[in-house]
């Protein structure tokens, strides 16, 4: 209703594309906004309520029909593998690509994926069934060398390699070449946290401390707080409180109830607590801010 589709987000780091959730219609929306499904290397599902994963079988089937050969990593709760296995068994489908499933856990922060550019961890949310959030943290890449300094000194290859890795280098004569002298300052590392369905849980701040961009569900307004508690969801005000106590730099609100045709009141409610709040809108790209953004 109100032109809103079910949850699905694409997060891009360099040429790496991650899909968070896969509600109904996800592959249609990917094509509509020219986010090529074929570029997605990993999919993360927070929990097994249909509005968060019912588009998955269609997407996986389309990959098969297009003869995908690249492996696909899938992270999700216990039972998701059984759902997929049952479907593909009864549809007599043997996928053309390797689907590598990793079961998520609600036991604290768990590292799921290591990549040269970033890492992805899960953490527990407080919902009616086992549910996890996801934290994506950027890693330091190779340092950028100061060209003028290199021209002044004839550094051995070993020194250049060490400096690019962010390590000072000491040669056989006892001369030390420091990263701070030969490399540009490294850009601030970015982080993104995704909190799908959850009741109000201030303890989440232990996983979200200092996050640059926080997506947090804001299903209801404060006037419907009782309904939010009954359904293990949050209000816009509560989402803003989580952002504030976590020291987040920016809050992205989402997962709105269809009872609110106009979302401006939800945004205003959040901004009274956390001014740097905005509404998640379909088809919009949100850069991850840094301390200097």
**Closest of 102, 41, 109 to residue 76, by C-alpha:** 102
Q: Classify the C-alpha dihedral 73-32-50-3 as positive or negative.
A: positive
Q: Are the CB atoms for 189 and 116 separated by under 8 Å?
A: no
Tell me the catalytic residues: 51
Structural tokens at position 129: 């069934």
> Which residue has 């609100």 as its token pair?
253
Residues 215, 53: Cα–Cα separation, whole Å: 18
Q: What is the CA radius of gyration of the chain?
A: 22
- Angle at alpha carbon of residue 60, lines to 57 and 65, rounded to 5°: 120
Residue 268 neighbours by CB under 8 Å, 6+ apart: none
Structural tokens at position 161: 């390699």
């Amino acid at each position: 209703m109100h032109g809103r589709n079910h949850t699905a987000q694409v997060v891009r780091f360099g040429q790496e594309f991650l899909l968070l959730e896969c509600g109904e219609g996800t592959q249609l929306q990917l094509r509509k906004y020219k986010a090529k499904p074929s570029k997605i290397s990993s999919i993360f599902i927070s929990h097994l309520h249909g509005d968060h994963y019912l588009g998955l079988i269609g997407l996986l089937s389309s990959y098969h029909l297009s003869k995908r050969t690249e492996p696909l990593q899938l992270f999700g709760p216990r039972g998701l593998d059984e759902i997929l296995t049952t479907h593909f068994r009864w549809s007599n489908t043997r996928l053309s690509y390797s689907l590598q499933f990793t079961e998520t856990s609600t036991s604290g922060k768990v590292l799921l994926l290591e990549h040269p550019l970033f890492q992805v961890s899960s953490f527990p949310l407080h919902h009616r069934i086992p549910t996890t959030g996801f934290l994506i943290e950027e890693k330091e890449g190779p340092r950028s060398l100061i060209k003028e300094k290199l021209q002044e000194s004839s550094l051995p290859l070993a020194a250049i390699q060490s400096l690019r890795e962010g390590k000072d280098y000491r040669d056989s004569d006892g001369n030390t070449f420091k990263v701070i002298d030969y490399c540009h300052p490294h850009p601030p590392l970015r982080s993104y946290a995704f909190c799908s369905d959850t009741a109000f849980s201030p303890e989440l701040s232990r996983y979200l401390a200092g996050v640059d961009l926080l997506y947090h569900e804001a299903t209801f307004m404060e006037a419907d707080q009782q309904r939010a508690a009954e359904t293990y969801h949050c209000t816009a005000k509560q989402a803003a409180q989580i952002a504030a106590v976590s020291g987040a730099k920016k809050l992205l609100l989402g997962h709105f109830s269809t009872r609110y045709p106009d979302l401006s009141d939800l945004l205003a409610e959040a901004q009274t607590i956390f001014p740097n709040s905005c509404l998640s809108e379909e088809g919009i790209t949100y850069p991850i801010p840094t301390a200097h953004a």
